Amino acid sequence: MTAAKVVVLGGGPAGDVAALRAAQMGADVVLVERRELGGTCLNRGCVPSKALLAISALASKIQRADEFGLVVSGLSFDFPRMQARKDEIVLKMRRGVEAACQRHKVRVVPAQGHLEGAEVVAGEERFAYDQLIVCVGTEPSGLSGIDMAHPRVITSDGVWTLTEIPQELVIIGGGVIGCEFASLFAPLGSDVTVVEMLPQLLAGVDRRTSQQFQRLLEARGVKVHLDSKVEEVRYREDAVTAVLSGGVEIDADTLLVAVGRTPQTEGIGLEEAGVLVSPRGHIEVDEYLRTANPAIWGAGDCIGGLQLAHLASAEAARATENALEPTRMRPMDRTVVPNCIFTSPEIATVGLTADLARETGHEVRLGQARFVGEAKALAEGEPEGYVQLVADAVDDRLLGATIMGPHAVELIHEVGVAISDGFTMAELGDVIHAHPTVSEVVMDAAQQGHGIAPYLS
């Protein structure tokens, strides 16, 4: 049997996985990527931001050294070296992707690709396909009325080319990206202001978490303006002045626009190939990740929904499997998708919030516990935050969780597995957790939901 010809358009967390999974399944695979393998996440998003956030978190800890009985003086920052360390990590990860493609005999074509008929044109070559997986991702959105070409105005992409730490940083947008960069630069000495047009930061999380996070962010010196817009920007060669809707004027040497991301679907021939694209530029797919053209599939940020690298990878694997095994197609299940926010403190959610559970008809049981009561969290000097578990009050089945605090982005997976396996809150509370660990707070929250947590009930 002749191997299926699969072309993957885009080499980020979705495209890489689609290409490698197709190769594992015996396909003849071409991966077309105009920039670096790994896409935004590896090169300009998740990975570089976590590299710098790790340094920022260390600096924050050192600044509190006296609490631990340590005497530290003369803390200073070598920002070019921080950026160089970030680049080293990114390069190591990218080489890992390149090596995986070589091992699986995936042909990588470094060119802009677009569709013409039943072929993908990339550079001087044309590639026919039996199945095409489109994973073209997104790029930072600009903001109308802002001179995005001004040297003092940047998006998240521009952070990675900064040569010095901003002294005064205004961030337009209080979503995940804006809040992560506020958490990054405040401990490095930047005077940070976040401007958000909505009535709360981090619109995707529940209001209690948002409000508590805002208090902690402001305690670290970050100024927050909610229900506010930047009405005008006055530009100078080495600075800008942002004028807010309430008349407040803020001077800054750097203006970071973090107002979301735009799909990179325009002008690559999708519509001409029969693919439906939404007014916002997202590829429209069904539950199996098929487009309106039965030979073309979509995965990752370019199809809309949660913009998460791990979800993109999962969608890409499922789309590829469905494309190559049409008699065994499975729908994409997004019931259990951890959403992790790498702020300080970390925030992570999975499943339903309490409000959403009620809105969808559940009678809700909550189990809650705070890190301030956990020995390991206190020992590490990170007592802020809590765990909130959400269960159906009728059958006690777990529906979701929100965790804010130390190691939240790691702890959330325990609850995700529990939800996936159909655990009740009582069953999660019965799982013995080691002491002293920060993970005990999950057990305590589950037990508290039934009124049997020894120290909380």
CB 136 within 8 A of CB 265: yes
CA–CA dist 8, 145 (Å, integer): 36
CB within 8 A of 186, min separation 6: which ones? Answer: 56, 192, 217, 220, 221, 222
CA–CA dist 344, 185 (Å, integer): 11
SS3 category, 19: helix
CB 199 within 8 A of CB 227: yes
Annotated active-site residue in 225, 282, 433, 435:
435
CA–CA dist 333, 432 (Å, integer): 29
- CB count within 10 Å of CB 53 equals 19
Establish whether 435 is a catalytic residue.
yes
CA–CA dist 272, 156 (Å, integer): 32
CB 180 within 8 A of CB 174: no
CA–CA dist 370, 110 (Å, integer): 50
CA–CA dist 169, 337 (Å, integer): 32
Which ranges constitute the DSSP H helices of 291-374? 309-324, 354-359
Q: Write out the catalytic residue numbers.
A: 435
